[in-house]
Amino acid sequence: MKRISPVVKIGNVKIGGNFPPVLQSMTATDTRDVEKTSAEVLALHAAGAEIVRIAVPDFESARAVPKIFEKISQKNAVVPLVGDFHFNGAEILKKVPECARALSKFRINPGNTADAGFLEMLEIARKFEKPVRIGANAGSVAPEILKKSKNLVDAVIRTLEISVAAAESINFPADKIVLSAKLSNVLDTIAAHKILSEKFPHALHVGLTESGSGLGGEISSAVALGILLHEKIGDTVRVSITPRPGEARTREVEIGKQILQSLGIRNFFPKIVSCPGCGRTAGDFYQKMTAEISDRVAKNFPIWREKFSGSENLKISILGCVVNGPGEARDADFGICLPGRAENFALVFARGEKICDLRGENVIDEFWHLLERFVAENFKK
Ligand code: SF4
């Protein structure tokens, strides 16, 4: 059963309650560079980030925040910006109130924000009617708490207990608080979030922090988030991977979408079911066919999404032979399967019923035309 936390409004986005988890990301540009940071916010938002965090380490960055807000508004993008504060957040927000105004949420790290600064940030948030994320991170737990703790999980939970008690002592409302406990180990992350979800009613931001780069980081993030989200833990989600040099920062958003979609929590694009192929497939035609159809779906989906309502829920099956082809097609909207050990011949299914055979050199093109027609006829606006 889903744990029901208070609904928190972050700009135009609502989280908690019965709302499904939303995707968050963070820029890596120098916030003082308004052009580059606005461009990265827009790119992350276009990729699917529904909330974008930006680092605000100094006064100059804080003064850039309203300009970044203005730039993205000019592009008609409505994406809440979260300010990421460490050490000196209260000082920055007091001296640059226009930054506080432009942000939709403040992230406070209780591990490196002095007690007085922490309460001051909450008072500033109250004044500007903004929510906060109290985000403990294993890498920056206060040394005195670390000394008293059994392990890192215990340390981040203790940190949040103290922070929540401090917020309650000034009657800071629960529906303006999001909590997070970030650790870089999968099992610790799962353990910490389970404790958090039992101890606190607040909305939770979940993710595996500093998960690494490449396949290892991606799989670790998917495992940690998959287990938590399956247990209905998590109101905002971030995948924190180190991009490979030259890799788009939007990749973390794409992975986040894949995680939510694979759990059936939200659909972002059509689902393609395909088998690995085996000794029953001949040559590499099956692989080429799967790749070609998948690429065409990915390329055309942005157009389908605009024209055909619900096309993100489309399910396509592409199977290498009749062992599982007709069966998978029954569970798909549209499907194709090879007979096995024969090329240039395929069976096509719509809503589980075989509708035709395709033969010859142009199997893929002909299937594609049938699929496009199916989408146009079945997902009308
Ligand atoms: S569906 Fe057919 S080709 Fe694909 S893996 Fe199964 S047996 Fe092999």
Minimum-distance ligand 1 atom for the alpha carbon of 324: 1
Same domain, 187 and 50: yes
Same domain, 53 and 172: yes
What whole-number distance in Å separates Cα of residue 235 and Cα of residue 9?
A: 12
Q: Which two tokens stand for residue 325?
A: 């082809």
pLDDT at 53: 98
Domain-located, residue 133: yes
Same domain, 167 and 251: yes
The residue segments making up the domain with residue 324 are 271-378
Describe the chain by its helix, strand, coil percentages, rounded to 5: 45, 20, 35
Same domain, 160 and 116: yes
Of 119, 121, 49, 51, give the one whose Cα is nearest residue 81: 51
Same domain, 141 and 252: yes
pLDDT at 112: 86
Q: How far is the CA of 373 from the centre of ligand 1 (A)?
A: 27
Domain-located, residue 31: yes
What whole-number distance in Å separates Cα of residue 277 and Cα of residue 116?
A: 62
Same domain, 105 and 198: yes
pLDDT at 343: 64
Domain-located, residue 29: yes
Helix and strand numbers (H, E) in the chain are 13, 15
Of 93, 91, 78, 170, give the one whose Cα is nearest residue 130: 93
Domain boundary residue, one of 220, 238, 262: 262
pLDDT at 114: 81
pLDDT at 303: 95
Q: How far is the CA of 321 from the centre of ligand 1 (A)?
A: 5
Q: Look at the alpha carbons of 306, 308, 309, 313 in this order and tell me if their dihedral is positive or negative.
A: negative
Domain-located, residue 296: yes
Domains of the chain: total: 2
Same domain, 232 and 333: no
Q: How far is the CA of 320 from the centre of ligand 1 (A)?
A: 5
Same domain, 30 and 178: yes
Of 337, 344, 343, 332, give the one whose Cα is nearest residue 321: 337
Q: How far is the CA of 350 from the centre of ligand 1 (A)?
A: 20
pLDDT at 360: 84
Q: What is the CATH number of the domain that holds 355?
A: 3.30.413.10
pLDDT at 113: 85
Pairing assessment for the beta strands 315-319 and 271-274 based on DSSP bridges: parallel
Q: In what order do the strands lie in the sheet with 334-337?
A: 271-274, 315-319, 334-337, 345-350, 353-359
Same domain, 139 and 281: no
Minimum-distance ligand 1 atom for the alpha carbon of 328: 1
Longest dimension (CA), the chain: 75
Please work out whether the CB of residue 280 comes within 6 Å of at least one atom of ligand 1. yes
Please work out whether the CB of residue 274 comes within 6 Å of at least one atom of ligand 1. no
DSSP, collapsed to helix, strand or coil, labels residue 329 as helix
Domain-located, residue 252: yes
pLDDT tens across the length of the chain (381 residues): 667 899 999 999 999 999 999 999 999 999 999 999 999 999 999 999 999 999 999 999 999 999 999 999 999 989 999 999 999 999 999 999 999 999 999 999 998 888 889 999 999 999 999 999 999 999 999 999 999 999 999 999 999 999 999 999 999 999 999 999 999 999 999 999 999 999 999 999 999 998 898 999 999 999 999 999 999 999 999 999 999 888 999 999 999 999 999 999 999 999 999 999 999 987 889 999 999 999 999 999 999 999 999 999 999 999 999 999 999 999 999 999 998 876 678 999 999 999 999 998 899 999 999 999 999 999 976
Please work out whether the CB of residue 276 comes within 6 Å of at least one atom of ligand 1. yes
Domain boundary residue, one of 262, 286, 305: 262
pLDDT at 116: 83
Same domain, 230 and 306: no
Q: What is the CA radius of gyration of the chain?
A: 24
Domain-located, residue 337: yes
pLDDT at 9: 98
Same domain, 17 and 56: yes
Task: Identify the residue whose C-alpha is closest to ligand 1 atom 5.
Answer: 277
Minimum-distance ligand 1 atom for the alpha carbon of 279: 8
Q: What is the CATH number of the domain that holds 177?
A: 3.20.20.20
Minimum-distance ligand 1 atom for the alpha carbon of 286: 3
CA distances from 339 to 189, 279, 281, 345 (A): 46, 12, 8, 7
Domain-located, residue 2: no
pLDDT at 1: 64
Please work out whether the CB of residue 273 comes within 6 Å of at least one atom of ligand 1. no
Please work out whether the CB of residue 320 comes within 6 Å of at least one atom of ligand 1. yes
Domain-located, residue 105: yes
Domain boundary residue, one of 262, 284, 316: 262
Please work out whether the CB of residue 277 comes within 6 Å of at least one atom of ligand 1. yes
What whole-number distance in Å separates Cα of residue 136 and Cα of residue 163?
A: 9
pLDDT at 281: 87
What letter represents residue 45's amino acid?
Answer: H
pLDDT at 154: 96
Same domain, 40 and 156: yes
